[in-house]
Amino acid sequence: MSSAIASTRFSVLDRSRTREGHTDAEALRDTVGLARELEALGYHRVWVSEHHGVPGVAGSAPTVLAAAVAGATRTIRVGTGGVMLPNHQPLVVAEQFGVLESLFPGRIDMGLGRSVGFTGGVRKALGRGKDDAEDFEAQLGELLGWFRGTSPTGVHARPAEGLSVPAFVLAMGEGAAIAARAGLPMVIGDLRNRAKMQRGIDHYRAHFRPSAWASEPYVVISGTVAVAATPEEARRLLVPEAWSMAYSRTHGTFPPLPPAERVEALTMTAKERGFYESGLAGHIAGTEEQVADELETVLKETGAQEVLVTTSTYDRSALLESYRRLAKLW
């Protein structure tokens, strides 16, 4: 076992991706079931995501789903990757995480992102606009203030006030700089653009301001990691998501995950093929030995303390096997 991998925490973000021929309800139950398996394998955290109006993603209410996951597990940390703060009032977010922390003390994480709705229709339904993401830093400060009881309004966030819920910033765009100024841990990806990722990490560490939430920088790198008996099997795990991404870029909608064999039998247009091949490239995928070597390199380059694996595929049993193989490395 490599020293870098052995000293690194490994966690999982499951987006509750729907699969062709399966329901949203099944996707949500799959997330809860996967969390139990990840706990047994020794993963550090399991996080859930927030997406609205996306046919291929059932995870729309992350704090609700996090409660179900926490209730079905005993020791693994549970959180969000993340709650998209521009979509919500900070007081409500504080109250939700206060409830979670009160019910599952010492196990809840508050991962926070700055994205707004994927389409104009979704943004309108949420009562938000593209410019709302620009208010993220102020919203973040307000949210943290509710936990510390520093709101100037005279209102108290119950049961959040006085509780300590670890907060993480999803470092998209200006997120690394915001995380540094706030003195919070950050989650950064993706592994396919390592030069850009490294620039974000370097900026974060150089400008980090110690806070009541974190005394020193804490870096979580995120991305797809697929492990199988052969490189070919590992690559097939990537096929459903790569095709869904290609389809979304050519048709404007993000579909449920199809079986790999159906994708491989498709006749694609040149544009679809280009997006599809791009979607397959750059991930960490292969046998246990190959993945260990690549992870070792990435961890030494970045100095990250944690890896958040974000793999999605049609075959849930193959996905679980990938997580089992990955767990053997550390």
> Tens of pLDDT along the chain (330 residues)?
568 999 999 999 999 999 999 999 999 999 999 999 999 999 999 999 999 888 899 999 999 999 999 999 999 999 999 899 999 999 999 999 999 999 999 999 999 998 776 666 776 777 666 665 578 999 999 999 999 998 777 889 999 999 999 999 999 778 899 999 999 999 998 788 899 999 999 999 999 999 999 999 999 999 999 999 999 999 999 999 999 999 999 998 889 999 999 999 999 999 999 999 999 999 999 999 999 999 999 999 999 999 999 999 999 999 999 999 999 998
Consecutive H or E run containing 95: helix 90-103
Backbone dihedral angles phi then psi of residue 24, each to the nearest 5 degrees: -60, -40
Parent domain of 59: 3-225+304-328
Give me the CATH number covering residue 204.
Answer: 3.20.20.30
Rounded distance between C-alpha atoms, residue 267 and residue 96, angstroms: 47
Q: Could you tell me if residue 285 is inside a domain?
A: no
Q: Could you tell me if residue 65 is inside a domain?
A: yes
- Res 233: pLDDT: 98
Q: Could you tell me if residue 290 is inside a domain?
A: no
Q: Could you tell me if residue 246 is inside a domain?
A: no
Q: Could you tell me if residue 248 is inside a domain?
A: no
Rounded distance between C-alpha atoms, residue 325 and residue 330, angstroms: 10
Q: How many domains does the chain have?
A: 1
Tell me the whole-structure pTM to 2 decimals: 0.94
